[in-house]
Structure 1
Amino acid sequence: MDIQKATEQIEKSGHLVFLVPESPTLDCLAASEVLASILAKRNKKVGFAGSLTPETIPNADLFPYLRTPPQPLREFVVSLDTSQISLGELRYEKHDNRVEIILSPNSLPIEKNQISFRAGNILCDSVLTLGLKDVEGDRPELPPEFFTEHPIINIDNADDNKYFGEINLVDAKRSSLSEIVYELVSLLTGAALEKEHATLLLAGIVSASGGFSSPQTNADTFLAASELMRLGGENQTAYGLVNSYLPLGLLQLFGRASVRTKTGEKENVLWSFVTKEDFEKTGRTPADTSSVLAHLEKTFPQKSATVLLSQNPEDGLVQATVAGEQRVLEAIRSREGGEFQSPYLKIFGVFPSFREAEVHITSLLKEIL
């Protein structure tokens, strides 16, 4: 990542336009709030293009800048129909509290109905994208040429990012956007973060890393979190924000998983089935299986085991992840192999269908329970 090049581009930009996903994660919101508010304090004109609204913000008190996200500034165009009029002179005069635009016709007088007003181009020196894999797609609020006319600073930690920016701050080894933004603003300002900003970035890291349990969690993740706490980041507030924030798409996935459940006839086992269409319709991914299992355990308690069968949107194969008593999970792992994912067991191997997965796991559980 070329952090230095990004800071140089930001420094020479007066107007910066932010782009975030339609359903931003808490990590994305935290990184956006901190970066945008710091840039605004450095006298940069910051605007958010797209669908970011106050309803998107989980806690307005912790997101004072995004509470009323500013729109990008635009030119204002005064248009005169010259098909019937010859214009001799155009000038403007400044007064104490106003500016007058003066049009001087050559022959015929100018009528009011010959003048119109409209919004012009977005004022933009650089585009900052956070958490976007690509900028292609339907963005009616932006003209098609917008992305080719302005340099893009692309900030992301997804391994399938398209590297569409002139400057790409993309690192799939980072657990969160907040880590990348922390490094960026530290170099940009050369000063310590305010404790409110440190708390937000800490919340972003905790949320994106699944409480420091995701495969992307590494020594750098813990180092960034410890530095943010040293700067005044409040651990309790950060975790409280994480626990209170659930994106709409994830809530929808919870609903789909809850509707498609059943209990085994003899064994005290809850089954839940998530199809590839469920992931596609909600905009979520198989990375959310741990969150879905946590929801199922809370909604349907006191089960010996909860089995979530999820279908990969890319290849249609079915993966089994199990929650339950530790002895049950250890017994499954000893027979089938698997890895623990805070604190659930993801079974090694995949199945071609839900039916085959259910039959195989049922037989296995009958031996154990």
Structure 2
Amino acid sequence: MTETLSTLLLHGGDGPRTVGTPVSPAPVLSTTYYAHPDAVGFSAEDLKADTPHFYTRWSNPTLELLEKRLALLEGGEAAVSFASGMAAVTGLFALKLQSGDHLVLSDVCYAGVAEYAGQALRRQGVAVSFVDSADPAAVAAAMRPDTRLVHVETPANPILKLTDIAAIAAIAHAGGAELSVDSTIATPVGANPIALGADYVCHSLTKYLCGHGDALGGAVIGRAAAMAELRKQSLIHLGAVLSPFSAYLILRGMETLELRMARHEANARAIAEWLEGHAKVRRVNWPGLASHPQADLARRQMRNFSGLISFSVHGDSAAMARRLADRLGLVSTAVSLGKTKSLCFYIPTDDILRSSFPAADAAQYRDWAGDGVFRVSVGIEDAAAIIADFDQALG
């Protein structure tokens, strides 16, 4: 089988085909499986690579298929699935960081990750440095002898700032640390961080990989030995296990990922270019625009620029947020991203700087975001219809 992206999305990790094998496997929902004392142990420390399925908190056939497919898509040796993207990232942090260690973290990243690192990790004795990861020199300056992990998100939510993965991987490794990359927005269609030097790739499967807004999930992909430890120490002991039915929905969504991402990107380009010409729009952030400050890096690092854009407006942003919420019809005012349907949500800059990004350079963030950004997850509707909806709503 030729392992192109299209083929992997549909067939990656499939078992042998025999007469009577279902073309579309049903989810295995059982929590327990027949076991034998010679094959399984009672402790997670007894878990081996060839341990059969016996309890879904440890492993499950549907989750196994999803994990194999994700590892193939990202060029990793193995993957571990979790109940959400947050569970995946915090599970990785729990494995790699302990009291006395140091974490270097993008100053612009998913709010939940930033808040967890700035609050919970520090309470646990982990030192955290929030750094502009778009600046390799800043990352290098933040490295310490006790730095164990550098975690970046690229493109970064919500202003779509990019990080040069290869450059940061070299810096992390030179300092004796590892690099994890949240590639949720890029997806495996747009980028493969492991090929650029990252040790771990994190995904919120809730977003583009599922694509339909009907299942939560997360995953970490990396080397087999590290993933085995992640399964034992974080998944089994902390218990944030992905539902097999959610895994089934995510697998079904992944089958159309390449097709959807092409449409998401094409629509995002049309809408971003239209917004740039609108009199009420102050700035548009999208990696595929020539005006993006890191357009060269985007072209070098990404094969698909994804469907998430953000924009800021002239004048009263809060008033515009209320206007859009009242007047948008086709586009839904809702959180999250990566769905087939278009979503728009206002994120005030003061709220971001006060809560999830307290260590961010406020002036630099405001340059990108103004008083707040309207984050638009561009769906796969007709681009002209999405533009028409924003046109009548912006006024």
TM range (shorter): 0.3 to 0.5
Larger radius of gyration: 1
TM-score (norm 2): 0.31
- Point out the structure with the larger strand share: 1
TM-score, normalising length from structure 1?
0.32
